[in-house]
Structure 1
């Protein structure tokens, strides 16, 4: 009589490709050894301060630039926080939830569902990276409820992240492009270097739109082709993740003062007032100019979210759930502003700042032709340690844009080089995954194997396009407001 050995559960990573296994191991290492993103920006503050000292700047001048710069970016910090909040309240509104359910009925296979999530997420990212994260996560959950598809939930989660990992910086919520289009949001030290660069010279360049199109098509194909087939797919049920819809408990008004919280009267009045202002903004200028103003952009999303939630109570519940996702922005962006001030402010006896030292290094090591590639690689590497498009731009812009001026590289294209390259490390950096992972009920290691595969293919394609398309543009000096 034979005896049967107890069945051992196979290692899920062993069923994936070599590239996916490498990505899973890399993320496991990063989760074990990498501290919170705040630690990286704190280290950056110390390094820049030491660099300014080594450059010969007086210690009191360094301390003063830190304090003066710390609060210089508060408007932009709040604007970025509202990008997150606005995207969340719109994506979680009942009409959008109904739209998500309808969209989830379209795919016919599990692999098709993964490709569909990738496409929907990236399209929404052109409007708002905050919207894309939440929308993509909710769509993946809705598709996971269709158990007959046998969709790999991990691959779908990675596809839901492609908006932030591939295309968001090429769209309307690009932090660098928004900053450069809004002189009131730029640090005073940066404005003379870059001038004002409108959207027509950044995200709406035909070269930028071509890269966005290539990234979109390529990412959907990779997402579909890398998704496991039904016999090897790991579903949400297999992972022990519940994907049932959560309905907020709004309760009933028990006191007279609570009645207005559940009535749409104030919602309608607020939307009318806000809508009138938004209409005036679009009527008095081109829509490109209007939407490039972060205040208009954010109020548009907040107003739409308020209207879609209909009742103030439901809207406030959505806002309260969105606020925790802004914690990193609120505490880190002031430090980024302080670093920018320390890079450009304190000077040595010869009148040279740290930013100018780095600029000279960039210029000496590059030509006009090589600048897009070197800046792209540098931005991508730095992006893993400083996972913030807007914050990191404030660190890089003082010296890379000065180098672009000296090498006569189109300044708008330099912004787009940064945008396209900066998004790449997001594919393996857990920082911006957190809001999405909270919705999916997964860990970073569950999805990064698939996103790492995207990174390996994106990197050479993006760098080539940034280099080749740079030759189609002509340099123009900075334009002051």
Structure 2
């Protein structure tokens, strides 16, 4: 497996395109498919243009995931804590598995935290002179939270939405009713599937991590900085007094902490932290206070901004792809997404529904990566099909959650913030994540089918 991973890594480093090129190819493929299903050229170009800027709020959120994580991690006290965690592994292969475990467990609470913290842990491990760790394999391991189990945890947007009737559109509420966590992420079948994915992912990491002789370190990729905050230069003019004084940091920090306290009192802690705006606000507030002086905070932000370039230029293309799939009607007034769903639903039965719909969700997710937002688009026809076939509705949500993570393993959309922290390109890590994909696809689809057989249909419960 280690030799296969190295060959896969060598191939991807040579042939895998840059993340932006990957997204641009996706635009062309989906646009041609829409035209092939009867969409007119005018409708196609309008859908692409209208959707191009549709992810701008999310784009900024993802950019701030990188900035906030970088700012907090480069604060001296946090950098020392990460260094303490980085002392645990005793071998390069053990370090890769350690990163994978931390990343996956963290993703069950918050995928954003998992993404940034995993990357920062890899950077800290890479600084150890006594540890010859393959930087590519460790970067791929840090991505496993997003590529394996994030949607099975508390930050699952689909599960959160289905449990809160006030957040659901009326059309979906009438189809599914309310599905509490006990019917989705806390099903024993969900726990078994999640635990299996964690164990299998760690085994794949262990067997595919290169030996010390074949390992390529961070230095081989030109990544040598420590990410520690450099000492501030001395103040040279009176106008810089507020930049070097903690006064503004304390006042702004108190305001921020007050708002955060209200959020966590008014909402369950898991719900509050799963909100990206709250998550980013928390990191920026904590980062400001930890850096203590505005000048130190602003310098850290300036160093973090270049890492967001890939996010800013690529995400609009995915907005265009999503619109082409869902807002470019072809012959009969049906969109490409509808045709895809009907293709899978026609061949499904009650027993095969989990595997068939899991495959569908994975295929569609490859073209429209989503942190759960596309559930609003898919849920009405997916859950109606589950009702018609008498499939357990909570398990249908988990089918979506488990399968949605699969395309993340080779789609660079979600890799961008992590790659910004690591200083790598998608081609550097995708050879190792592809090995995970080869194992995860049959495992996930098979367990979705097998565990689905243990559940019985329960009619929707209306609030």
Q: TM-score range by the shorter chain?
A: 0.7 to 0.9
Larger relative contact order (C-alpha < 8 A, sep ≥ 6)? 2
Do the aligned partners of residues 432 and 65 (structure 1) sit closer, same or farther apart at CA in structure 2, a change above 3 Å counting?
Answer: closer
Residue 248 of structure 2 corresponds to: 266
Partner-residue secondary structure (3-state), 1:149: coil
1:135 maps to what in 2? 117
CA 1:381–1:338 in structure 2 vs 1: closer, same or farther (change >3 Å)?
closer
How many residues are treated as equivalent by the alignment? Answer: 458
Q: Matches of 1:81 and 1:124 in 2, distance apart?
A: 20
**1:96 corresponding residue in structure 2:** 78
- Return the offset for 1:115: 1.6
Q: CA deviation at 1:166?
A: 1.7
The answer (yes or no) to whether the contact 2:62–2:417 under 8 Å persists in 1 is no
Distance 1:254 1:189 in 2: 63
SS at match of 1:36: helix
Contact 1:144 1:153 in 2 (8 A): yes
| Match of residue 304, structure 1, among 267, 281, 286 | 286
Residue 394 to residue 44, structure 1, CA distance change in 2 (3 Å) = farther
- TM-score with structure 1 length normalisation? 0.77
- Following TM superposition, by how much is the alpha carbon of 1:226 offset from its aligned partner in structure 2, in angstroms? 2.7
> 1:252-288: per-residue Cα shift (whole Å, max 9, x none)?
5545454333333333333333333333333344444
User: 1:309-331 CA distances to partner (integer Å, 9 max, x unpaired)?
Assistant: 33334444444525435315752
Aligned partner of 1:243 in structure 2 is 224
Structure 1 residue 132 displacement after superposition? 2.7
1:327 lines up with 2:324 in the alignment: no
> Which of 455, 458, 462 is the aligned partner of 1:472?
455
Is contact 2:93–2:206 with CA below 8 Å preserved after alignment? yes
Aligned residue in 2 for 1:365: 347
1:139-158 equivalent positions in 2, closer than 5 A: 139-158=121-140
Cα distance in structure 1, aligned partners of 2:131 and 2:459: 53
* CA deviation vs aligned residue, 1:122-147 (integer Å, no higher than 9, x gap): 22333333333332233223222222
Does the Cα contact within 8 Å between 2:54 and 2:316 map onto a contact in 1? no
Q: Distance in 2 between matches of 1:301 and 1:33?
A: 27
**Greater CA drift, 211-220 or 278-287:** 278-287
- Alignment partner for residue 40 of structure 1, among 15, 18, 26? 26
1:428 has 2:410 as partner:
yes
User: Aligned partners of 2:169 and 2:146: how far apart in 1?
Assistant: 25
Q: Is the 8 A contact 1:428 1:451 kept in 2?
A: yes
Indicate how the Cα distance of structure 1 residues 298 and 279 shifts in structure 2: closer, same or farther if over 3 A, else same: same
Task: Report deviation, 1:190.
Answer: 6.5
In 1, Cα distance between equivalents of 2:388 and 2:42: 30
Equivalence map 1:5-84=2 (5 Å): 17-22=3-8, 24-25=10-11, 28-31=14-17, 35-41=21-27, 43-44=29-30, 47-48=33-34, 51=37, 53=39, 79=61, 82-84=64-66
Cα displacement (A) at 1:366: 0.6
Q: Distance in 2 between matches of 1:88 and 1:383?
A: 28
Alignment of 1:79-478 (within 5 A): 79=61, 82-177=64-159, 201-237=183-219, 239=220, 241-248=222-229, 251-320=233-302, 321-322=304-305, 323-327=308-312, 330-332=315-317, 334-335=319-320, 338-339=323-324, 342=327, 358-390=340-372, 393=375, 396-470=378-452, 471-472=454-455, 474-477=457-460
CA drift of 1:114 comes to: 1.8
Closer, same or farther: CA 222–338 of 1 in aligned 2, 3 Å: closer
